[in-house]
Amino acid sequence: MDFWANFWSIIWWFLWAFIFISYLMALFSVIGDIFRDEKLNGWLKAVWLIFLLFLPFLTLLVYVIARGKGMAERSARMSQQAQAATEDYIRGVAGSSATAEIEKGKALLDAGAISEAEFAKLKDKALS
């Protein structure tokens, strides 16, 4: 009988730990959203934070109900911006294709900037 009492105590503890961690994640999401929101002025941000300090659960619930749609829109916009920045970075550092390298080399050869031997080296390097 002692095993089951300890077993259910452990399950109960894990349940409360899960609830507490979920609450903290929601709280930090709301705090981050308060500072990210450009429509709120400094005083309204301070009021939300004061209410979060003194009535955290109720204020969190009210904020998510009242401003949840805007919170989701801001989060989606930030995600899209991060994705675009990542794609731009990858395009910037990624090498160009072999065809593009050969075309650049051919343009340099036609302009007289490089010799036939240098063009051949460039072509071999691009194709390897």
- What pLDDT digit, counting tens, does each position of 15-71 carry? 999 999 999 999 999 999 999 988 889 999 999 999 999 999 999 999 999 998 999
Measured distance CA(9)–CA(60) in Å, rounded: 29
Which pLDDT value is given to residue 64?
92
Which pLDDT value is given to residue 128?
75
Average pLDDT, the chain: 88
Which pLDDT value is given to residue 124?
86
Which pLDDT value is given to residue 96?
67
Which pLDDT value is given to residue 30?
94
| 104, pLDDT greater than 70 | yes
Which pLDDT value is given to residue 17?
94
